[in-house]
Amino acid sequence: MARLAGKVAIISGGAQGMGAATARLFAAEGAKVVLGDILEDKGRAVAAEIGDAALFMKLDVRSEEDWQAIVAAATEKFGKLDILVNNAAVVHFGAADQMSKADAERVLGINVIGTMMGVKHAVPALKANGKGVIVNISSVDGLRGCNGLTAYTASKWAVRGITKSYAFEFGPFGIRVVSIHPGGVNTEMGNPGNEAAETVNARSFRRVPLQRIGEPEEIARATLFVASDEASYISGAEIAVDGGWTAGHYEPALPNCAPGLA
């Protein structure tokens, strides 16, 4: 079933990781996809792999000119815009009292201002279309605090918050807005050392109920559902795709756990 047949989507951060997985899945489900990223060689390679249903555009999400260009390219090549996926993001680890102003501005500029500029420039095309969907990729760290990730956590709480405000503002125009909150994901950001999943799981995911890292395709499938007409009455929601990470504190060594979990 082509769940996005006839739809046109822009996906920021589409050159790799969750963005590339989302672009591939959307195209497989019938959508035309415009991938935006600063990683031009990787982005063009993903678009070429997808074929005629894809277009790559250089996109620094902090640049209003780049956003204007990618929205114009989408509407000119494919005739309209139905879906915006704000996926591009960066992470910064470090103690709060050692963070530079430049580091904080970079994280907030890409993760928050970049999302806001994407919405600003995509919404006129979505309104002209009579309806649409905006999917903002936040994080489990937009649902909780996390030691050593102050700027990133602040940015992902902001993405969660603006999503709810956008849902109110754009709902009367038939535009749904939802935030997706991935847990640890096996991407360049989530597994920068490209370690084997078994190694990462044993070290970092024993306290996650599903006891494993997520795969980018699993986040893409949640984004697909939200972007499809199957989710036509979902807006302003936050959807955790995290293996149960945010369900609460999990202690695998406690008695009465299912065999094999400890």
Which residues are marked as active site? Answer: 152
Q: Is 254 exposed, middle or buried (0-12, 13-18, 19+ CB in 10 A)?
A: exposed
Q: Which has the closest alpha carbon to 180: 117, 90, 246?
A: 246
3-state secondary structure of 163: helix
Angle between helix 114-129 and helix 150-170 axes, rounded to 10 deg: 20
Between CA 26 and CA 257, with CA 211 as vertex, the angle to 5 degrees is 135
Positive or negative, the Cα torsion across 235, 238, 242, 245? negative
Report how far apart, in Å, the C-alpha atoms of 194 and of each of 20, 103, 148, 186, 219 are.
17, 24, 21, 8, 18
Length of the chain as a residue count: 262
